[in-house]
Structure 1
């Protein structure tokens, strides 16, 4: 362990949770000179999150590059995640449209990714990875968090730090101990997924089906594995409870142009959850910050949680590293992080929470999805939004909406039957 500083802190930063957000924050903060304790409740360094989309959207690629993980991911077989999306108007195919190569992220199983990034954190000078440490409470003085209490195999211990970071997921114990305000958005869908081997997909790219309100996706991953997920409306929950395997397979078989599920080998059990609400939390408190799902839990339908975990770790590092290592105002730095987090993700979460109600497409969504199915430029525009490289304001910019209107009007005119000639032939 690092020696305490003059103020009695064991570390500059104590992070609870050694998954994507926690490991990324630890690596980036340590590279900026901070002394970091990275706590993980599980004892195995190869532990991983099983219930996940196993997809890193393109917004995460710059962070993966900064972490130095891209060569290792490519070597491990991570699949660049091009995608096509089925809608009632046809397929939206961004990669088939003319233009330069689209930005990409990666599909990679968490059983591959989590040990990889945790190992990278353990190799980073300034990071102490403390496995088998479950946070049981916070140390607080004068209204601010100054450390944690953790249960270990040897008993409970206290670890002090100038900043405590909750990177412990959607049911964050750190957020609960700190009394951080949480807004809960109900999700009208439930979800199940399984991994299959030898499941071919056209062009070997990701597929998603918008069968509103039901949804599904199939993502090719490393080692020839494809992750197949179904996200039906909760009205269908009784049939899945009565026969999970039969309902899952029947759902996939019914997908338009769906994958040949019966010819593939299922290599995992069907796992999922019947209740997955979206959480929006205040991302900071005195002496404390939240990253990843602990700060904002999105709808798994969109597969953006991993990307936002990595991005929020970088945003936190950029905001607080100067204060932690240079003696600056930490509270002011935390305020900068909180404002940036809300500005970047608030609009995305608003739209996701609204769509999680299981409602039909609204008029603007119908306009944009139908336009993207009929126009390559709009399909590429939708790719940038789905990859979280642009926000809602740019996605729904006047220029984009106007193009969608024109595209759909042209389609309607082209599809209209020819006008009848008059009896005189005029």
Structure 2
């Protein structure tokens, strides 16, 4: 059996279960779900929503209280049909957000505007939105579908029987499940407990991000990606008077001083500078007996690969379909697991190839590329 770690600190007031089982250690509140999802980001919420739409009983566990800070506030217009499939038609357009037709790139040539595309109705426009508002939108949809949301929920641990994940321990509460979904992001909740193989494709990379108050005229029309001597800078307007920035350096020293990009140093910082590990990696087995990895818990590329939230939603929805197939075809689980793995690896390798090429034409391309 795989080793387990300490248990969750959720209070009993946050749990609502229907049955109990007496053991020598005391009373354990028990409840069975078709799916338990750990992590309420875009990938986790998409998984929970798509599973609930298929009639499954779903529990969604999130360790942090909302709102929380995350990078990735530029949404590709292709996100709209995905949200429509999740039953959220038009909800994104009802939020206060800026729209743009693409983004400017200052990289290997003169600055150029890369547009999302267009159709007979006109140019496609992306969304510049506060991630906190977007996360709340997804969580609200999951709640409306009857998903049991447990938040905050610190330190859940995996329950195992042999090599199969059978649920999640939460102190004296035990949530059994046919499938447990790790949507904990780069934190990697499940891989910290189980001996999982990961494929590494880059050295240690840290993306820094933050906010500034004020005006910078070059991002009035669209976000901008700028090559620097040792990496890149991303600057986008969040609202009429606030800018979001993200930077990445090729240097592997995570203790480098983190500060806003040079073009924004004259502006007033809003809140602290934060960081996120974005080393390129891929799970060798993203789906197995009783578990699925989705979003950044399954595969990570740095933000320059673009469309991170879009990919997270797609991965969660694909996982929900894979779970549905496994429930309908128990004897074919292994084939479904391989199909999900092949889908994820194909998506990752396509993005990896494009990102490697993009970095290879950087004016100061990293030696490791």
Which TM class, normalised by the smaller chain length? 0.7 to 0.9
CA offsets 1:82-135 (integer angstroms, 9 cap, x no match): 21111342022234999864444422122211122112211113x111123335
Are residue 277 (structure 1) and residue 305 (structure 2) matched? Answer: no
Give the deviation of 1:291 after TM superposition.
0.4
Alignment counterpart, residue 173 of structure 2, candidates 152, 157, 174: 157
Of Structure 1 and Structure 2, which has the larger fraction of its residues in helix? 1
Partner of 1:146: 166
Give the deviation of 1:167 after TM superposition.
0.3
Partner of 1:298: 301
Residues of 2 paired with 1:30 and 1:99: CA distance? 33
TM-score (normalised: structure 1): 0.69
Alignment counterpart, residue 130 of structure 2, candidates 75, 96, 109: 109
Partner of 2:336: 333
TM-score (normalised: structure 2): 0.79
Residues of 2 paired with 1:55 and 1:77: CA distance? 14
Of Structure 1 and Structure 2, which has the larger fraction of its residues in strand? 2
SS at match of 1:160: strand
Alignment counterpart, residue 77 of structure 1, candidates 65, 74, 96: 96
Alignment counterpart, residue 215 of structure 1, candidates 220, 232, 243: 232
Partner of 2:82: 63
Alignment counterpart, residue 36 of structure 1, candidates 58, 74, 77: 58
Partner of 1:370: none
Contact map agreement 2:230 2:251 (CA 8 A) in 1: no
Residues of 2 paired with 1:110 and 1:322: CA distance? 32
Partner of 1:252: 262
Residues of 1 paired with 2:325 and 2:350: CA distance? 28
CA offsets 1:142-196 (integer angstroms, 9 cap, x no match): 421111112xxxx342110111100011121213323221123334654322212
Q: Aligned ranges for residues 364-383 of structure 1 at < 5 Å?
A: none
Are residue 180 (structure 1) and residue 196 (structure 2) matched? Answer: yes
SS at match of 1:175: coil
> Cα 1:305–1:187, aligned 2, differ >3 Å: closer, same or farther?
farther
Unaligned runs of 5+ in 1: 254-259, 363-426
Are residue 266 (structure 1) and residue 269 (structure 2) matched? Answer: yes
Give the deviation of 1:223 after TM superposition.
6.0
> Cα 1:188–1:156, aligned 2, differ >3 Å: closer, same or farther?
same
Residues of 1 paired with 2:164 and 2:340: CA distance? 17
Give the deviation of 1:47 after TM superposition.
3.3
Larger radius of gyration: 1
Unaligned runs of 5+ in 2: 1-15, 20-29
Contact map agreement 1:231 1:301 (CA 8 A) in 2: no
SS at match of 1:120: helix
SS at match of 2:226: strand
Partner of 1:124: 145
> Cα 1:69–1:222, aligned 2, differ >3 Å: closer, same or farther?
farther
**Worse overlay, 326-335 or 135-144:** 326-335
Partner of 1:234: 251
Give the deviation of 1:36 after TM superposition.
0.5
Partner of 1:166: 182
RMSD: 3.3
Contact map agreement 2:40 2:62 (CA 8 A) in 1: yes
Residues of 2 paired with 1:177 and 1:156: CA distance? 19
